[in-house]
C-alpha cells in the first residue's frame, strides 16, 4: 500500500472565483459562499487538467499506485498576508471543500487542515478552525505556514513562544503538523517555490536549536520537501552539535520529513541523513511536478519510481516509507 502524506486539494474554479471576489470587495459584500458542490468537486478530481499535464487528479494517483492521499489546501492560494476576515472565510471554505472531497472518495482521501494564519489575529484564534476540522470534519493533521506574512515582514521563528498555542492544540488533538510555507507576496526576490524551501530550511533550524520538542514531547512535526536545504548542508551544523555532545544527524531525527523531492539522488541523501524510519512518502501529485521528463518519459513527480530505483533499500524500508510510518503518525 502507498499512503501519500503530501497532496493538495483539486478544487473547482468556483473556489478560486470566490477568492478573487473576496479580494475585490474586501469583505464589503459579506462572506458569501464558494458554491462548491459534490458534482463540481467530482469533476475537479476526474476531468483532465491542463495544469497537471492534461491528466486528472485521480488518474495521476491511480498510475502512481497511491491508495490513500492526505490532502491540504494549495498553500500558495491561502493568502495569509491579507485582511484577517478574508483569510478566515477562505480557509473555512477550502477546508469544507476538502471535507466534501473526503466524503466523495472516502477510501482515497484524508483531510489536512489549513489554518487562517493572519497575523492580525493570534495563533489561539487560528486553532479554532483546526479544532473544527479535526473534531467535526474528521481531519487527521494540520498544515502550518511558518511565514504568515508571506515574505512581507519577518515573523517569529518557530522556536518562539508565539507558536506555543499551536503546539498545545495539535498535541491535545494528537495530530501531526505538516510544515509547508504558503505564498510569497510581491515584490519579492524569490518565487513561491523557492520561498517554500527557504522557510522550511529556517523551520528545521529553529526547531532543532530550541526547547520546543522538549516542552512538547508528543509533538509530531513533518517538514515538507525533504526539509528544505538542511539535509544538504548538515555538515555546516555538525561542529556545533558535536560541541554539545550530539551529532547533527541525531538532532535531525527529532523531526520527520516527506520525500517530495524530484530526483533520486536527493531522496537518497535524505534517507541516508535521517533514516527511512523518519521519512514519509509524499508526492504533491498532481502539482508542480506534474509534467513529463522528455529524457525518461516519466512524470517528474513519479516519486514512487525514484524510491523503487534506490537499490540499497530493502522491502521493509520501502514499506516504512510507503505505508507504515504514515499509518503510525496519522493513525490511519
| DSSP-derived secondary structure letter, 263 | S
Look at residue 267 in the predicted model and tell me its pLDDT: 98
pLDDT for res 55: 96
93 is catalytic: no
Task: Name the percent of the chain lying above pLDDT 90.
Answer: 99
Alpha-carbon gap, residue 258 to 120, rounded angstroms: 31
Joined grid coordinates for residue 330: 496519522
The CATH fold assigned to 3-330 is TIM Barrel (3.20.20)
Quote the CA–CA distance of 168 and 265 in Å, as a whole number. Answer: 37
Length of the chain: 332
| Per-residue model confidence as pLDDT tens digits over 170-216 | 999 999 999 999 999 989 899 999 999 999 999 999 999 999 999 99
For residue 286, say if its preceding peptide bond is cis, omega within 30 degrees of 0. Answer: yes
Rounded to the nearest integer, the mean pLDDT of the chain is: 97
- Looking up cell 489549513 gives 114
DSSP state of 162: G
Confidence label for 74 from pLDDT (cuts 50, 70 and 90): very high
Confidence of residue 34 (pLDDT cuts 50, 70, 90): very high
* End-to-end Cα separation, the chain, in angstroms: 12
For cell 487560528, what's the residue?
A: 126
Give the pLDDT score at 146: 98
Closest CA to 221 of 176, 156, 252: 176
Residue 128 CB neighbour total at 10 angstroms: 14
Instruction: Give the per-residue pLDDT at 251.
Output: 97
Domain residue spans in the chain?
3-330
Q: What digits encode the pLDDT tens for the residues 207-257?
A: 999 999 999 999 999 999 999 999 999 999 999 999 999 999 999 999 999
Note the pLDDT of residue 263: 97
pLDDT for 136: 98
Q: What share of the chain is helix, strand, coil (3-state, %, to 5)?
A: 50, 10, 40
Note the pTM of the prediction, 2 decimals. Answer: 0.96
Compute the average pLDDT of residues 41-61.
97
Grade residue 105 by pLDDT with cuts at 50, 70 and 90: very high
What is the spatial distance between Cα 196 and Cα 193, in angstroms, rounded to a whole number? 5
Note the pLDDT tens digit of each residue in 274-330.
Answer: 999 999 999 999 999 999 999 999 999 999 999 999 999 999 999 999 999 999 999
8 Å CB contact between 27 and 19:
no
How high is the pLDDT of residue 46? 98
In the chain, what percentage of residues exceed pLDDT 70? 100
Question: Which candidate, 331, 266, 271, 326, places its Cα nearest to that of 7?
Answer: 326
**Choosing from 129, 284, 323, 328, which is the catalytic residue?**
284
Report the distance separating Cα 203 and Cα 300, nearest Å: 26
Contacts of 148 (CB under 8 A, 6+ apart): 80, 81, 117, 118, 119, 155, 182
- Nine cell digits for residue 272: 541516508
Which grid coordinates are listed for 218?
Answer: 508528543
Cα–Cα nearest to 237, from 228, 222, 162: 228
331 exposure class (CB count in 10 Å sphere: 0-12, 13-18, 19+): exposed
Q: Which residues contact 126 (CB under 8 A, 6 or more apart)?
A: 115, 116, 117, 165, 166
CA distance 89 to 16: 12
Q: What is the DSSP string of 147-170?
A: -TTTTSS-PPPTTSGGGHHHHHHH
Burial of 307 (C-beta count, 10 Å sphere; 0-12/13-18/19+): buried
Tens of pLDDT, residue by residue over 114-134, are 999 999 999 999 999 999 999
Amino acid at each position: 500500500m502507498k499512503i501519500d502524506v503530501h497532496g493538495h486539494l483539486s478544487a473547482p474554479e468556483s473556489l478560486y472565483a470566490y477568492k478573487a471576489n473576496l479580494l475585490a470587495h474586501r469583505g464589503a459584500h459579506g462572506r458569501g459562499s464558494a458554491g462548491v458542490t459534490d458534482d463540481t468537486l467530482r469533476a475537479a478530481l476526474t476531468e483532465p487538467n491542463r495544469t497537471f499535464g492534461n491528466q486528472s487528479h485521480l488518474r495521476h494517483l491511480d498510475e502512481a499506485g497511491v491508495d490513500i492521499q492526505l490532502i491540504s489546501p494549495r498553500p500558495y492560494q491561502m493568502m495569509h498576508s491579507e485582511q484577517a476576515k478574508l483569510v478566515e472565510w477562505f480557509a473555512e471554505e477550502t477546508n469544507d471543500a476538502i471535507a466534501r472531497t473526503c466524503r466523495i472518495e472516502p477510501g482515497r482521501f484524508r483531510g489536512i487542515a489549513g489554518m487562517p494564519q493572519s497575523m492580525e489575529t493570534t495563533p489561539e484564534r487560528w486553532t479554532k478552525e483546526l479544532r473544527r476540522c479535526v473534531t467535526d470534519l474528521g481531519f487527521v493533521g494540520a498544515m502550518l505556514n511558518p511565514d504568515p506574512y508571506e515574505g512581507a515582514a519577518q515573523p517569529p521563528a518557530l522556536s518562539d513562544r508565539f507558536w506555543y498555542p499551536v503546539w498545545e492544540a495539535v498535541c491535545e488533538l494528537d495530530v501531526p503538523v505538516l510544515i509547508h510555507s504558503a505564498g510569497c507576496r510581491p515584490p519579492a526576490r524569490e518565487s513561491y517555490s523557492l520561498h517554500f524551501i527557504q522557510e522550511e530550511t529556517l523551520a528545521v533550524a529553529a526547531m532543532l536549536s530550541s526547547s520546543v520538542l522538549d516542552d512538547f514531547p508528543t509533538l509530531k512535526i513533518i517538514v515538507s520537501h525533504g526539509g528544505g536545504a538542511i539535509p544538504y548542508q548538515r555538515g555546516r551544523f555538525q561542529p556545533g552539535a558535536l560541541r554539545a555532545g550530539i551529532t547533527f544527524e541525531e538532532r535531525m531525527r527529532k523531526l520527520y520529513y516527506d520525500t517530495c523531492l524530484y530526483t533520486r539522488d536527493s531522496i537518497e541523501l535524505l534517507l541516508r541523513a535521517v533514516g527511512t524510519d523518519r521519512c514519509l512518502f509524499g508526492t504533491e501529485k498532481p502539482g508542480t511536478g506534474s509534467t513529463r521528463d522528455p529524457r525518461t518519459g516519466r512524470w517528474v513527480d513519479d516519486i514512487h519510481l525514484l524510491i523503487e530505483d534506490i537499490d540499497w533499500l530493502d522491502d521493509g524500508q520501502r514499506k516504512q516509507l510507503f505505508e507504515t510510518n504514515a499509518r503510525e503518525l496519522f493513525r490511519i
